[in-house]
Amino acid sequence: MKNFKRITALASLLALTLAVSACGKQGSTDETAEAENTGDQKAVVYRTLDEIKESGTINIGVFSDKNPFGYVDENGEYQGYDVYFANRIGEDMGVEVNFVSTEAANRIEYLQTGKVDIILANFTVTEERAEEVDFALPYMNVALGVISPDSNVVQSLDNWSADDEMIVISGTTAEKYLIETYPDIPLQKYDSYATAKNALENGNGVAWANDNTEVIAFALQNKGYTVGIPSLGSQDTIAPAVSKGNETLLNWINDEIKALGEEQFFHANYEATLVDTYGLEFQESLVVEGGQVQ
Amino acid sequence: MLDLGLEVLSKGNNMLRLLGGLWVALKISLLSVGISIALGILLGALMTWKNPVTKAILRVYLEFIRIMPQLVLLFLVYFGTTKAFGWDLTGEMAAIIVFVLWGTAEMSDLVRGALISIPRHQYESSEALGLTREQIYFYIIIPQALRRLIPLSINLITRMIKTTSLILMIGVVEILKVAQQIIEANRMSSPNAAFGIYLTVFILYFIACWPISMIAKHLERKWR
């Protein structure tokens, strides 16, 4: 009898927990559905351009630990390519910029809840993300790059010899791209940046494919290596993002990017923030001016 | 000598920034610990009641908090409340709410455990002496339970201080985030700075948690 009582107690507890969690789930899906359906009528999470101007402060989400795009210097000041642009936005809009430190994993949530007005955290434009947030015109290119020792620079992936192996880091876009586009190239996969770096230095593979910003920085820091292919595969772009539906702000940013193109603003930005890491020769392949991808 | 890249600490305000980050972490955790202990003792005492309704409610609350990873709770409170109710909580506020919810749940279970671990004959002997219910708790049970509670709650308190490393996910710049910022900002000039900075963070956490252990040890000895 005692056992029976215990079992029923346990079962009812379980049922209750399930019910609670089910309610929670249902509630949230209903709400998101509702928010999408009614759009503008329901509580709008974002602030329009006029509301931002009125408040005198714009909240911009940037990385605080991605040198040289968004980082904090030794005096506690935000610096970098993204931050340089953010400061110009604040200046031209006539408002103060309040920087919010974001992580790769929470950038979309920040926009969906209106806790920031713009994300300028090296945000690569993808189709999945474009369903959650609105992207403005791009201001930077990102692609893959291939680095190899000076003694045997790999400049093309065509006519690949089956004896040569390519170094990649597992789970990166480089790995995915090579498997899909060049299935004949044998890959040597490593789990981390450090092990892949060792493999290249020890000559385990003939070349290393990774994000082009990474390999370019590597070649500049380590003598004896050349980026034979600075831009490979699908050209992705990096763009500012705003909350879904925030048209006034989106239009303002697009106009701003176009206007800045006339004064070559992003070239100046590159020279101020990225030149130490990447050198001048990659300026044209990385910078997007006036929102026009070449 | 191993290059730990410690020179980056003397650059600009870096050391001050790390200490500021430690202060943010300690402020949030100690405030939450204080509230959690008070609420936890109250709920823990309620848990020992025979009333099935309060028992069931408290049980569900405890299990819910215990099962949920703290990171999920942080996201739920920081972003979820904005989506659902339109509340605009600051990161610090959301962190304190989550830490209080978590600390109270775990603390109440510790209190419950300490209370029921007092042998029955303690209650019965007190009743035989003619003490009232309040007197039994105040003079006999609580002093004994408190002593059993100390080592358990120290575990919880230090765990709460260390878990503040998660709040960087909701935009609160605490010691670990400052450390990452310093390491990344000097990635080119001092590639080894990660070792030195994390070592410094370790020492700072230790300095913050060690006095708590010492106080606990002292109390345990005093109340023996």
**Which chain A positions have a beta carbon within 8 Å of B11's beta carbon?**
74
Domain housing A156 = 142-235
Contact A64 B170 (CB under 8 A): no
Question: What angle, 0 to 180 degrees and rounded to 10, lies between the N-to-C axes of helices B14-47 and B193-222?
Answer: 40
Domain endpoint, select from A210, A235, A260? A235
Please say whether the beta carbons of B98 and B30 come within 8 A. Answer: no
Burial class (CB in 10 A: 0-12, 13-18, 19+), A245: middle
Mean pLDDT highest for which of A21-25, A218-222, B7-11, B106-110? B106-110
Instruction: Measure CB to CB from residue B13 to each of A45, A74, A112 and give the nearest one.
Output: A74
Please say whether the beta carbons of B214 and B206 come within 8 A. Answer: no
**Which chain B positions have a beta carbon within 8 Å of A72's beta carbon?**
181-182, 185
Average pLDDT score over chain B: 90
**Which chain B positions have a beta carbon within 8 Å of A26's beta carbon?**
none
Contact A20 B181 (CB under 8 A): no
Q: CATH no. for residue A113?
A: 3.40.190.10
3-state SS assignment for residue A135 = strand
**Which chain B positions have a beta carbon within 8 Å of A27's beta carbon?**
84
Distances (CA, A) of B153 to B38, B39, B100, B138, B157: 12, 13, 14, 20, 6
Which tens digit of pLDDT belongs to each residue from A169-213?
Answer: 887 778 888 998 999 999 999 887 778 888 898 999 999 998 888
Going by the DSSP 8-state scheme, the letter that residue A192 receives in this structure is S
Distances (CA, A) of A116 to A44, A57, A70, A79, A80: 13, 11, 16, 18, 19
Is A231 found in the same domain as A150?
yes
Domains held by chain A: number: 2
With a cut of 50, say whether residue B69 has pLDDT above it.
yes
With a cut of 90, say whether residue A31 has pLDDT above it.
no
| φ, ψ dihedrals at B92, nearest 5° | -60, -45
pLDDT band for A45, please (50, 70, 90 cuts): confident
The answer to whether residue A90 sits within a structural domain is yes
Rg (chain A; Cα; Å): 24
Residue B204, C-beta contacts closer than 8 angstroms, at least 6 positions apart: B18, B19, B22, B175
Ordered domains of chain B (ranges, CATH): 6-222 (1.10.3720.10)
Is A174 found in the same domain as A256?
no
- Chain A segment 117-176 residues within 8 A of B by beta carbon are none
Q: Determine the Cα–Cα distance for residues A120 and A257; give it in Å rounded to an integer.
A: 13
Please say whether the beta carbons of B4 and B192 come within 8 A. Answer: yes
Q: Determine the Cα–Cα distance for residues A256 and A285; give it in Å rounded to an integer.
A: 22
* Whether the complex's predicted ipTM surpasses the cut of 0.95: no
Is A247 found in the same domain as A224?
no
Is A164 found in the same domain as A115?
no
Domain endpoint, select from A235, A262, A277? A235
Q: Determine the Cα–Cα distance for residues B166 and B162; give it in Å rounded to an integer.
A: 9
Is A215 found in the same domain as A165?
yes
The answer to whether residue A38 sits within a structural domain is no
A222 touches chain B (CB under 8 A): no
Q: Where are the alpha helices (DSSP H) in B68-141?
A: 70-75, 81-85, 91-116, 120-128, 133-135
Interface residues of chain B, partner chain A, Cβ below 8 Å: 8, 11-14, 17, 56, 59-60, 63-64, 75, 79-80, 82-84, 86, 88, 168-171, 173, 177, 180-185, 187-188
Is A218 found in the same domain as A98?
no
Residue A42, C-beta contacts closer than 8 angstroms, at least 6 positions apart: A34, A35
**Which two structure tokens, joined as six digits, stand for A88?**
């110009």
Q: Which of A25, A113, A117, A244 has the highest number of chain B CBs within 10 A, making it the mutation to test binding with B?
A: A113
Which tens digit of pLDDT belongs to each residue from B106-141?
Answer: 999 999 999 889 998 999 999 999 999 889 988 998
Contact B182 A16 (CB under 8 A): no
Contact B64 A277 (CB under 8 A): no
